[in-house]
Amino acid sequence: LFAEVAGAPEDPILGVGQQYKADPRAEKVNLSVGVYQTEEGKIPVLRAVREAETRLYNAAAPHGYGQISGNPALGAFVQELLFGKDSEVVRSRRACTVQSLGGTGAIKLAADLLHFVVGKTKAATSVPTWGNHNAIFKQAGFDVSHYQYYNKADGTIAFEQLLADLRAKEAGTVVILHACCHNPTGLDFTADQWKEVLQIVIDRGLVPLLDIAYQGFDRGLEEDAFSIRLFAESGISFLVSSSFSKSFSLYGERVGGLTVVCQNADEAARVLSQVKQMARANYSNPPNYGASLVATVAGDPVLRAQWEEELGEMRARIRSMRVALKNAMDAEGSPRDFSFVTAQDGMFSFTGFTPEQVERLKKEYGIYAVANGRICIAGLNNHNVQYVAKAFTAVQKN
């Protein structure tokens, strides 16, 4: 039966993580996977989450099935984070939210809804993008094209090209946009650029999916939702994929949500029924535990304040590591100015290293980055940043 099955390639990001694990060198550094780590190089258990875990443990509730659409308190929290307290979208009930298996699961539900229920066949992703955008939409039956995002020559957003590419898309094309903290470039639109993109989306009849996997990692929970609130105010229908992997440090618990913003409450109820049917036929209902943790934190003002503080701490540490890397590169005499690292947003930096330089970093220094030159700034700390800067400088010189 399987004699002719060819092996599939390793995942370009998760595969690197496996190689890192197998590397025996003590000085090794993992800058590949998009996971926040503390100054000690550990994935944190947030204090607010720890307290929620204790409460859940003490409640000793039975592990019954949840709803197909997931934890309703989680859904309400997702909408509050996206649209703000007392927003028009929430009040009018013109959006529905379904709990998903992380942000990935939300994107898959979005793609399935748009393809199998709405009949869309074309999608467009940024160049470059998080690779799974392409894979998920292809697997859902889409013909995936692209729009230019990055200008290699000067390390900026190729905005004019991007506008031209979007304008050339056929009406009804699903456009996947990174709501904040663009992965992998770390370059986000300004408010005015978002307005221009929105105008093209409206003029050309494109279907936006805003992917927000890092809310709170750029400037703050409210600020990072700017693009989503702008789209909501415009009155168009669109979709949002949310992830709590990073913001709650709950990677393996797989907590996320798909939100579909419709024209009115009746439409939202019908869309919800369709998304539920897809979830039912796919995984029946989502896991309870991670969503209960998030809902417990969200529902308690003290825990919620603590979580926001901890999110702020993660954000601040990433910022300080950007500055530390830039300063260390200056001190090492890097042939290239690394100021771009401090200008970029979110967890990642697009270094401009070639696949050959990335390979040398791995082989000679045990420093693991993604082949496209993306590094996770949150993998840096005060113990390893000098070592990393030395290696980064060396591979540029010869």
**Interface with ligand PMP includes 211 (CB under 6 A)?**
yes
In angstroms, the CA 98 to CA 77 distance is: 11
Q: Please report how close the Cβ of residue 103 comes to ligand PMP at its closest, in angstroms.
A: 3
Does residue 211 have an active-site annotation? yes
Does residue 122 have an active-site annotation? no
User: Mask 11-40, x = binds ligand PMP (CB under 6 A)?
Assistant: -----------------------x------
Q: Please report how close the Cβ of residue 286 comes to ligand PMP at its closest, in angstroms.
A: 12
Only segment of 96-104, 145-153, 311-319, 370-378 that touches ligand PMP (CB under 6 A): 96-104
Residue 377 contacts residue 347 (beta carbons within 8 Å): yes
Q: Binding residue for ligand PMP (CB under 6 A) from 30, 37, 69, 104? A: 104
In angstroms, the CA 126 to CA 158 distance is: 11
Only segment of 68-76, 98-106, 278-286, 319-327 that touches ligand PMP (CB under 6 A): 98-106
**Interface with ligand PMP includes 239 (CB under 6 A)?**
no
Which residue's entry shows tokens 């690292």? 341
**Interface with ligand PMP includes 345 (CB under 6 A)?**
no
Q: Which is nearer to ligand PMP, 213 or 395 (CB)?
A: 213
In order, the DSSP letters of 267-336 are HHHHHHHHHHHHHHHHTSS--SHHHHHHHHHHT-HHHHHHHHHHHHHHHHHHHHHHHHHHHHHHHHT-SS
Task: Report 127-156 residues binding ligand PMP (CB under 6 A).
Answer: 130
Hey, what's the torsion of the CAs at 175, 179, 181, 182, to 10 degrees? Answer: 10
Which residue's entry shows tokens 């979830």? 279
Type of residue found at 108: K
**Interface with ligand PMP includes 183 (CB under 6 A)?**
yes
SS3 122: strand
Q: Catalytic site residues?
A: 130, 211, 246
Chain residues in the site for ligand PMP (CB under 6 A): 34, 102-104, 130, 178, 183, 211, 213, 243, 245, 256
